[in-house]
Amino acid sequence: MKKTLLGVGLTALYIIILFIVYWFHINFFTVNVVLYSTIFDAVIAVLLTGLVFFLPKVRARLTSFEQLQLVIIWVLTGYIYAISGPTVIDRSLSFYILEKIQQRGGGIEQSAFESVFTNEYMPEHRLVDVRLTEQLESGTIGIIDGCVFLTPRGDRLATFGRFFRQNFLPKRRLLMGEYSDDLTNPFRHSASVVDYQCSIPEQAK
């Protein structure tokens, strides 16, 4: 029981340190991608919290294996926070819808949402800039002379994503009162000819 309480206490300490490190990072340092920076903060918090293992009283009560278990728990806790906390709030269209309805006095006509997404959501959240920055930092795209192109890594991820979407997403998904498989192949009704394609720059080949 004493070891359990010690583990819970150290995990609570880790969470406190994680929030402190995260707060300092977002307020006083640069951030390239929210997800990656939060994971980095989680790792820093693990290292700082792990210093308690050098305290004689802690070292005497926890075996090396138990210390490793705690580190794994902390890493997973930090990862869950990074995914479910800042990243969700930063990226979530669902949260945007709620915030936008609240901003507009608590109600928006359903027919206006397409206009809201196009004319307000995109510029307000700088959606294109944010997503392109994330992909650049992830190494999945490159940009040369205004042409955005896939890197080999990006091409592999796109192939995997399309395969997963077509084979492992729901075939009967509820969309505004009707069950549909539209989102398993969203390009099904895309225009076959467009005027915005560009040739992959020679430097990228």
Closest listed residue to residue 26, CA positions, set 80, 87, 71, 103: 87
The letter for the amino acid at 163 is F
pLDDT category at 161 given cuts 50, 70, 90 is: very high
Q: For all residues of the chain together, what is the average pLDDT?
A: 91
What is the per-residue pLDDT across 91-113, written as a single tens digit (0 to 9) for each? 889 999 999 999 999 999 999 99
pLDDT tops 70 at residue 205? no
22, with CB counted inside 10 A (0-12, 13-18, 19+), is buried
Q: Would you tell me the crossing angle of helices 34-49 and 2-28 to the nearest 10 degrees?
A: 140
> Beta partners for 149?
142
| Residue 29 vs residue 200, higher pLDDT | 29
Give yes or no for residue 6 having a pLDDT over 90: no
Domain assignments of the chain as residue spans, ordered by start: 2-91, 93-138, 139-186+196-205
Rounded Cα distance, 46 and 197, in Å: 45
What percent of the chain stands above pLDDT 90? 71
Asked whether the beta carbons of 162 and 153 are under 8 A apart, the reply is no
Distance of CA 100 to the CA centre of its chain: 21
| Residue 51 CA: distances (Å) to CA of 10, 56, 164, 165 | 11, 11, 42, 44
Rg (CA), the chain: 23
Quick one: pLDDT at residue 58?
A: 84
CA 10 to centroid of chain Cα atoms: 27
pLDDT digits (tens, 9 = 90+) for 48-101: 999 999 888 888 888 889 999 999 999 999 999 999 999 999 888 999 999 999
Name the nearest CA neighbour of 93 among 127, 137, 119, 138: 127
